[in-house]
A and B are shown apart, each in its own frame.
Chain A
């Protein structure tokens, strides 16, 4: 087992910067997700860590060994890491046992230990009895587990998972997520999990690195990402946050600030060093509710209601008179039954928010 340190990694393809000064420090035994939309650089990052590509600049350290540096490139076969590929990459001409045992042969593991470890690895992913099957005869979920067993049998210090659930049916994913989590709890292997699915990342990872345009925007625990996003991109990407302009009146010093939201004074969470003045804040749909009685709130007009089963998603635009809010669309959830309809006026009470650090 080993930690992973990535320092100032740069990789360009022609004029396109796939990785732009990426730094990450992953602790030993940690489960980290790299989250981002396609093209954000997450797969490029994985290929640099695995050693399939040479970075243009920066360093990669696995455990205490420098594996990539301007003057050094340890080839993939010498990095002692495991990968589960998105396509699984099972060798079609080999049986399940041969697939799993391949890495043991590379490492020079002899019988009877070899057989024992294959059996153990298959038991670990609950594929006992499948040793002599060919990959073509397995279901998607079974192939996924063979790939996992193949990756784990050599007890790599670091495991990279490249969108391992992307090719599975939705109903299989939850089960596999459980298996990954259990597996990580049992082995405490350092795992780097590449995904574009934030629900998956949130469910599994100790920490998540959010990537966009070749940069790491924020590297933090899932709840921190959700509650205290570092910038507007992360705020919008994670949990569909609504980014609104605010004016910070006063930092209370108790992790809260007094702010002005479209002329309505309210309290929001903020960073300790948050200064006064214009800023942005993120609102979550769960923190917005239709105001009752004479309570204060934002005056808005419903533009659309979408039935979501058990509740409605209400989209609303702020009422006229707030020029900077004309393009802003708020959305909130309202439990069934609801009589709200498009065109109707609605006052929205805001219960919480987070001032994006400036």
Chain B
């Protein structure tokens, strides 16, 4: 009987331990997602605690708001259309045909996602401008003083398309990989030709991943800050995120109520996009019955070489040439000087690495922020995914939704919410996060949580639950099971998630552009200020350094790629 009492006592202790863990997870997700967004809504409707629609009236009555909204919709729809076209064409070819060197191609094609929009924007700007070192080398540079053609709505649409085509590509590729080969074979057996099978079978079945990818691309285009900031601000073409940035940068925190309203406006458009996706998918049944053997690749035959040439020309023009132009610019001794073998210099690199105080701090800050965010989220994601996947409940479904929310809505919204939450010193401790690097960390944790969570969730789906149950039955408590059995088994997935977070955070601009302060600069912010200040050569050197680091890290993951589920590392075929 004594043993029984002891057993019950230990059982109680563990139940408390389990509940405590769940409460911690709930509180963290609430603090990262529910609390800041609720605070944002409160500010819009009741600035300073007084219920008032004044902020709404003033924002909605301002013509600039509607111009920016129209511009936002225009470039987001244009960018999404381009991304959808490019991403789906490439996904169909890569996933369904027998082209060669797929890994190398995919690595390059998804690179824009990993090296950040503002770096892509900068690279394209240096390729086309009158000061383009590349065009000078080729002797086809436009005359000095002529306008860079990318400073336009068309330029923004083009770069948004390049930037987010990989999102559509990744979503569609994942869908195509789950498509059973029999469905395609049955199509051929039924006498259909290739185009007919593609049009009548493959494309209709691929509606859900395609629509999901397109919706994701739309939300990303809408919330993008780097590209319209680099291409739009110089020409006065404002979209909602850059309008929010300009208001806040110009007028400070006195306009918080107004920018809250603007944030809600852009957030509502984003959510409308997502809802539209759900509505489109509800109407038909797209379920695939069995998942057996994969479809055998379509043999392209004599068309293989021409198709390969088209694909590679695409990445050469989209990725390699702009980066080459950027590399050349980073070697130019001073803005406006023509590059030659004699005057090429590494002075710009030396300057940004050692002489420029803000840049030096930014390296330290960005490195620290991304390491801390990646590690913290990866460790947090393991117990959270455990509950989400293996302990389903209505409460946990809500938790899953709120973990996704800060990533689904534009980054500026999260940033404004963070400012509102931390403008005043924290209660009790009396310490203010505002104007410190910590508020940026908060923004990163909120926004990138789901990047770390998704791979771990898919890792759990692949894990045989009996591995945990075998530990449970020996008497191991939940915490011990997590530490000794589950963590080691999902570690590769958690590491992949951590790496995605690291790369994204290291090159991040949207959140830090609104949350940075002197001493708390990030690489994105310094790059932005070089660009705005006309220091194109320093900007190029800084961008080249981040590209090199990103590429090295992306390549290093190929070492453990075999240990995580396919598709977790996006740049691997």
Cα of A107 to Cα of B3 in the assembled complex, Å: 13
Stretch in contact with the other chain, from A78-86, A197-205, A252-260, A306-314: A78-86
Interchain CB contact under 8 A, B470 and A85: yes
Q: Does B347 contact A (CB under 8 A)?
A: no
Q: B14 touches which one: A75, A82, A92, A102 (CB < 8 A)?
A: A75
Q: Give 1 or 0 for each of A54-81: 1 = CB within 8 Å of chain B CB.
A: 0000000000010000000011111111
Interchain CB contact under 8 A, A65 and B476: no
Interface members, chain B 9-52 (any A CB < 8 Å): 10-11, 14-15
Interchain CB contact under 8 A, B467 and A89: yes
Excluding A83-B469, A89-B467, A103-B475, 12 further A-B contacts by CB distance (< 8 Å) are A78-B475, A79-B473, A89-B464, A90-B470, A91-B467, A93-B489, A102-B476, A102-B484, A106-B474, A107-B474, A154-B474, A154-B475
Interchain CB contact under 8 A, B476 and A50: no
Q: Does A87 contact B (CB under 8 A)?
A: yes
Q: Does A150 contact B (CB under 8 A)?
A: yes
Cα of A93 to Cα of B490 in the assembled complex, Å: 11
Residues of chain B within 8 A (CB-CB) of A50 are 469, 473
Residues of chain A within 8 A (CB-CB) of B10 are 78
Q: Does B472 contact A (CB under 8 A)?
A: yes
Interchain CB contact under 8 A, B488 and A102: no
Q: Does B7 contact A (CB under 8 A)?
A: yes
Residues of chain A within 8 A (CB-CB) of B7 are 74, 78, 80
Question: Could you pull out 26 A-B pairs where Cβ atoms are within 8 angstroms?
Answer: A50-B469, A75-B11, A75-B472, A77-B472, A77-B473, A77-B474, A77-B475, A78-B8, A78-B10, A79-B473, A80-B7, A80-B475, A83-B473, A86-B466, A89-B469, A90-B470, A91-B471, A91-B485, A91-B489, A93-B488, A93-B489, A103-B474, A106-B471, A106-B475, A150-B470, A154-B474
Q: Does A183 contact B (CB under 8 A)?
A: no
Cα of A83 to Cα of B464 in the assembled complex, Å: 15
Residues of chain B within 8 A (CB-CB) of A52 are 469, 472
Interchain CB contact under 8 A, A89 and B466: yes
For residue B474, which residue of chain A has the nearest CB?
A103
Q: Does B477 contact A (CB under 8 A)?
A: yes
Interchain CB contact under 8 A, B489 and A102: no
Cα of A10 to Cα of B480 in the assembled complex, Å: 32
Interchain CB contact under 8 A, A106 and B480: yes
Q: Give 1 or 0 for each of A142-173: 1 = CB within 8 Å of chain B CB.
A: 00000000100010000000000000000000
Cα of A105 to Cα of B480 in the assembled complex, Å: 10
Interface members, chain A 185-212 (any B CB < 8 Å): none
Q: In the assembled complex, how far is the CB of residue B208 from the closest CB belonging to chain A, in whole angstroms?
A: 25
Cα of A89 to Cα of B472 in the assembled complex, Å: 12
Q: Footprint of A on B, CB under 8 Å?
A: 4, 7-8, 10-11, 14-15, 464, 466-467, 469-477, 480, 484-485, 488-489
Interchain CB contact under 8 A, A83 and B470: yes
Q: Indicate the size class of the contact surface on chain A.
A: 20 to 34
Cα of A86 to Cα of B465 in the assembled complex, Å: 12
The residue among B8, B472, B475, B484 with the most chain A CB atoms within 10 A of its own CB is: B475
For residue A79, which residue of chain B has the nearest CB?
B473
Residues of chain A within 8 A (CB-CB) of B488 are 91, 93
Interchain CB contact under 8 A, B485 and A77: no
Interchain CB contact under 8 A, B484 and A76: no
For residue B467, which residue of chain A has the nearest CB?
A89
Cα of A81 to Cα of B472 in the assembled complex, Å: 10
Interchain CB contact under 8 A, B474 and A65: no
Cα of A86 to Cα of B477 in the assembled complex, Å: 23
Report, nearest first, the 7 A-B pairs whose CB atoms are least far apart: A103-B474, A89-B466, A106-B475, A89-B470, A78-B11, A85-B466, A93-B488
Residues of chain B within 8 A (CB-CB) of A83 are 469-470, 473
Residues of chain A within 8 A (CB-CB) of B474 are 77, 82, 102-103, 106-107, 150, 154
The residue among B8, B464, B466 with the most chain A CB atoms within 10 A of its own CB is: B466
Cα of A330 to Cα of B471 in the assembled complex, Å: 50
Interchain CB contact under 8 A, B475 and A107: yes
Cα of A85 to Cα of B476 in the assembled complex, Å: 17
Q: Give 1 or 0 for each of A17-53: 1 = CB within 8 Å of chain B CB.
A: 0000000000000000000000000000000001010
Q: In the assembled complex, how far is the CB of residue B127 from the closest CB belonging to chain A, in whole angstroms?
A: 48
Interchain CB contact under 8 A, B466 and A87: yes
For residue A108, which residue of chain B has the nearest CB?
B475
Cα of A76 to Cα of B475 in the assembled complex, Å: 7
Interchain CB contact under 8 A, B15 and A75: yes
Residues of chain A within 8 A (CB-CB) of B484 are 102
For residue A160, which residue of chain B has the nearest CB?
B473
Residues of chain B within 8 A (CB-CB) of A107 are 474-475
Q: In the assembled complex, how far is the CB of residue B252 from the closest CB belonging to chain A, in whole angstroms?
A: 53
Residues of chain B within 8 A (CB-CB) of A81 are 473
Q: In the assembled complex, how far is the CB of residue B408 from the closest CB belonging to chain A, in whole angstroms?
A: 31
Cα of A52 to Cα of B465 in the assembled complex, Å: 11
Cα of A322 to Cα of B10 in the assembled complex, Å: 69
Interface members, chain A 94-147 (any B CB < 8 Å): 102-103, 105-107
Residues of chain A within 8 A (CB-CB) of B469 are 50, 52, 76, 83, 85, 89
Cα of A152 to Cα of B470 in the assembled complex, Å: 12
The residue among B8, B10, B474, B489 with the most chain A CB atoms within 10 A of its own CB is: B474
Cα of A75 to Cα of B471 in the assembled complex, Å: 13
Q: B11 touches which one: A74, A82, A86, A150 (CB < 8 A)?
A: A74
Residues of chain B within 8 A (CB-CB) of A82 are 473-474
Residues of chain A within 8 A (CB-CB) of B15 are 75
For residue B7, which residue of chain A has the nearest CB?
A78
Cα of A89 to Cα of B465 in the assembled complex, Å: 9
Cα of A275 to Cα of B384 in the assembled complex, Å: 64
Interchain CB contact under 8 A, B477 and A77: yes
For residue A93, which residue of chain B has the nearest CB?
B488
